[in-house]
Amino acid sequence: MARIYPICSSSTANCTFIGTKGHGILIDDGCSFRSLKNSLELIDTDISQIEAIFITHEHIDHVKGLATLSKNTKIPIFSSAGTIAALKSAGSLTEDIRLFDIFSEGYKSAEFEVTAFHTPHDTPESVGYVVNYNDTRIGICTDVGKVTEEMENALLGCSAVLLESNYDIDMLRRNPNYSAALKRRIASDTGHLSNNAAAEFAEKLINSGTTRLIYGHLSRENNTPNTAFSCTCAYLQQKGIRHGSDYTLDIAPITTEGQYIAL
């Protein structure tokens, strides 16, 4: 049985395990080495049982633990050429670490096939991933300013999708701690996805066959789990799509307590 296990998910740290007890892959590594190790132990999995890591982009909330992980393991790391160049220029990874371009190398093992698609974010070459695990297609897509045709082509038809629902428009607008420039960046086409945009894309996903939605990368200042959940459920209800019968929606935790989504 496939498991999606959001280890951490917020604007400060992101890491997701996909697989089953004792074996799987990671999407991003934004938490510390100790936190990753302890979180995997909650599902009876050891770091040595991770066969590959896939990085969406080089922002610190997605790669914070990667340097330590690369020093302690030989797990291969996949990403786009642009992200690999950024990781190398940062100089924080060991020289002998195995870095692979997901677009030119691809990834296929006995249980997993992973493909990537480009996402609009303020980085050289950020990506999302579609993981085919034992004939179950799972999409991972965060840090996107808008939904693009490439994203749709990749994600429509997935059984489950972990999608960004980063901010509530009114909460962001009223936030006194954010500058006008930062607010513009977040709301731009290379920033993050709002609750409203996530809800609209959720409709397309469900109509294409997606039954399990997981919202991740929620802002801790400009959103709440209940706000994101209610926005989508209310929007979909208006479209005649019912939570609990047509789809389920989970909110990825800031830090896991061992919960996972079974497919």
Please state, in angstroms and rounded to a whole number, the distance separating the CA atoms of residues 23 and 3.
10
pLDDT at residue 61, as a whole number: 96
Please state, in angstroms and rounded to a whole number, the distance separating the CA atoms of residues 102 and 127.
10
Domain count, the chain: 1
pLDDT 10s per residue in the chain (263 long)? 789 999 999 999 999 999 999 999 999 999 999 999 999 999 999 999 999 999 999 999 999 999 999 889 989 999 999 999 999 888 767 777 889 999 999 999 999 999 999 999 999 999 999 999 988 999 999 999 999 999 999 999 999 999 999 999 999 999 999 999 999 999 999 999 999 999 999 999 999 999 999 999 999 999 999 999 999 999 999 999 999 999 999 999 999 999 999 99
In angstroms, the Cα distances linking 227 to 1, 54, 57 are 31, 29, 27
In angstroms, the Cα distances linking 213 to 22, 52, 63, 140, 261 are 24, 24, 24, 10, 10
Eight-class DSSP state of 38: H
| Whole-model pTM over 0.85 | yes
Please state, in angstroms and rounded to a whole number, the distance separating the CA atoms of residues 147 and 214.
16
pLDDT at residue 92, as a whole number: 64
pLDDT at residue 211, as a whole number: 97
Token pair for 212: 């399990």
Which strand (E) or helix (H) includes residue 171? helix 169-174
Produce one character per residue of 206-217: b if its CB has 16 or more CB atoms within 10 Å, e if not: beeebebbbbbb
Contact 31, 79 (CB under 8 A): no
The domain in which residue 163 lies consists of: 3-262
Q: Tell me which residue of 135, 151, 131 sits closest to 143, measured CA to CA.
A: 151
Going by their DSSP bridges, the two strands 3-9 and 14-20 should be labelled as antiparallel
pLDDT at residue 83, as a whole number: 96
Task: Tell me the CATH number at 201.
Answer: 3.60.15.10
